Structure 1
Amino acid sequence: MEEWKQRHHEASTVMEGREERLDELYEEIEKDLVLLGATAVEDKLQDGVPQTIEQLAKADMKIWVLTGDKQETAENIGYSCNMLREEMKDVFVVAANTADGVKEELQNARRKMCPEAAEEPSVNKSRAGLFWLQITETLQDEKVDGEYGLVINGHSLAFALEENLQLELLRTACMCQTVICCRVTPLQKAQVVQLVKKYKQAVTLAIGDGANDVSMIKAAHIGVGISGQEGMQAVLSSDFSFAQFRYLQRLLLVHGRWSYLRMCKFLRYFFYKNFTFTFVHFWYAFFCGFSAQTVYDEWFITMYNLVYTALPVLGMSLFDQDVNDRWSFQYPQLYAPGQLNLYFNKKAFVRCMIHSCYSSLIVLFIPWAAMRDTVRDDGKDIADYQSFALLAQTCLLVVVNIQLCLDTHYWTAVNQFFVWGSLAAYFAITFTMYSNGMFFIFTSSFPFVGTARNSLNQPNVWLTLFLTTLLCIVPVVAFRFILIQLRPTINDKVRHKLRKEALPAPAPRRPPARRISTRRSGYAFSHSQGFGNLVTSRRFLLKRPLKSRSLLFTQTDSPLAQNQPQHYRTIAEEPEESQSP
């Protein structure tokens, strides 16, 4: 035994042929053994992981699994999470150890999924940015009949991430319903995320629970860390953190969707109220000879965005929701319009400008026509600049607040207080500042003294206000009604169903049922070699010019060091050709 131990030590320290010599020694001693038993550490999935992945898939989210586990373990996890299913047409496994072999396997998989697919990928180049100086490349999607899965290991991924095979990998992976990259290094995870960001122009979210996921979390647009047994490195590097994977479902399908909806409504309404406010000045310039004469009182201009319209839009952007959280879980498809930018895009911006232009014309010309030849009850003339300005600004404020009410789907006490409180504050400030009793000594500061008392006590002024509001609101209501009848969105359908049916009862908490597969076992034993050769091959390292000193990050695989920070060792500067791995 001592002799074999000495030979084993010598074989494990040689520089060449180490694995072959070790295999020979193992064959010598592993003979005539009796198996007494086996033990293993159970790597259990968290509660709700399969259900969460299923819901996210219904929301048209593409889910890629980047793991350092062995291929057998990764495939069993895929089946346990319902990402790989028995009803899939095929699951392609890319495990070649050469660049040509990886390219051939990727092309064969693509030909099987879509025989008429072109050999060369279709990449569209477009300009983006404020001045269209940034050139972006987008890989076009290809339609596939049926569902397929792709499993690729770290050795093949090292070749697939090279510049000449990147598009082959991404093109084949995007045609599959499920992509699992197993036995990958932390840097390869980040490279896969960067590849998707570069050619798909999609918003990426990376979620991980360990230090080996930090590079992936930082590379994605949104990073989510899970605080658990693997330490807090992922949490410290993430944008959001929680304790269970299933909480991702509520983060995206509920709060994420609500946040996007509120932000789009806020932007549309903010542009509407300010464009309407500004266009009135533009039309009025044709009557005052472009002399910079303002339509409204200068105090109204000062407090329009500061007091009168600030809180209502704030309340909508904080509390509004189209459907509640339980209906959001019931219909994950509600998330899809946000992925297509249907709530706020260039068309929505143009529609907002057209709507503002129409409202400004009504707000200016209806009061002007109504006040032009109008007289008071006592026969005196009421057609003066101050009365017209007061009526125009009152019509503007009432119209934009009613438009806000039409855009609000979820009313709370705070919303009610902000909307009606803003209108009450406007009339209170107007009667106070424009009265000729209390502020008679501030005539130069308040040039509209007496206008409110002389104008707002006339019935035809209130009739003009009602007519202006009606002409601004009725076309909007009619257009939305016709649009819902002819081209209803998924939100319109769910809200219509919500009014007819009772709220779905919350699903009872029960452990997820284990998926029994007739083709695969529930175990993930593997006797294949690890990724030591991949690490020492330097294929996954970034090619950067060496400086005076550089750091090589290595992570210990010992169970005692899984929750510890990564260790560093320093490599002295050497020429790139002669540097040892």
Structure 2
Amino acid sequence: MRNKSSCWTQLTNLCAKNEERRVRANDREYNEKFQYASNCIMTSKYNIITFLPVNLFEQFQEVANTYFLFLLILQLIPQISSLSWFTTIVPLVLVLSITAVKDATDDYFRHKSDNQVNNRQSQVLIGGILQKEKWMNVRVGDIIKLENNQFVAADLLLLSSSEPHGLCYIETAELDGETNMKVRQSLSVTSELGDPNNLARFDGEVVCEPPNNKLDRFCGTLYWKDCKYPLSNQNMLLRGCVLRNTESCYGLVIFAGPDTKLMQNSGRTKFKRTSIDRLMNTLVLWIFGFLVCMGVILAIGNAVWEKEVGALFQSFLPWDPTVDNFLFSAFLSFWSYVIILNTVVPISLYVALEYNQIKNIENGLQQYNFLNINVKFI
């Protein structure tokens, strides 16, 4: 009783804030007014247009890449450049290209996985007839028929089941890692709607909480035939679950696509950094600090030499036209020393790391294919 009262309290507060979700069964026109998300999911990070700018932005979050880009800009300034810019741009482009190829490959497999999931088939009740629809075409308010061992296409309100008392059994391993069966039960008033003709006439309206990532909580109310019935998590089938030991059941789509609890918990795909990457960033910062200290010491030595001795050589070794005093000469010398000593930051090490990561991916794919061949053979 306490759980039901708290659920009612939360639902009342949501309604007061106009944050509730309203879903009417078998009425796409009504549900489309709220512009709910479709059941199409996208876990990839890039497309053809955004790949280059987004990937470069992510790569230049690496300290070493930013350092070498800064060094390349310095080498393009004739007054301080003492080395050819070609010596920096080639390894930098090589590192960026290898990383881009690796990221593009990962994202390609994400696109492939998304297409595979979005094109799965579900039986949707349309006009009293069960029709096969792709998952990405399922909409909020549709009634779906699930059969044994099928994945749940969206977050559903269980309406009826082939089992007695409206029971069904699900496996939630993809949601919480638990392989034991869980029991879900439909409301007694809807458990009798087992026939597609009866379900096609079902016009109940669900008022519930907005999308969230709480796997063990659901608060809502079903309004049907001038009555209202409280709903809880025991009445819900979440996307990613698998129907087990149940011949068939019917469910009403409440949350679809990115609004489902599975996708709400998955979060946004982020740029991943390994512990080696973080260690390398820290080392590069320390090395760069050491490089700056060396440049400052050498620049001070240049200033002292130019002031005390360099003036004697002005007749046959004059300063550049842009240099008018020893302090400005020391300033330019500082950047020249930074360019000369840039090899203390080993860009070749980054090339080797990226190459090793690609080799590890290739070895992993080979092992995966080998295991698949053995499983098929068995």
Q: Does the TM-score normalized on the shorter chain lie above 0.5?
A: no
Q: Which has the larger radius of gyration?
A: 1
**Using CA pairs below 8 Å that are at least 6 residues apart, which structure has the higher relative contact order?**
2
Give the TM-score, by structure 1 length. 0.16
Give the TM-score, by structure 2 length. 0.22
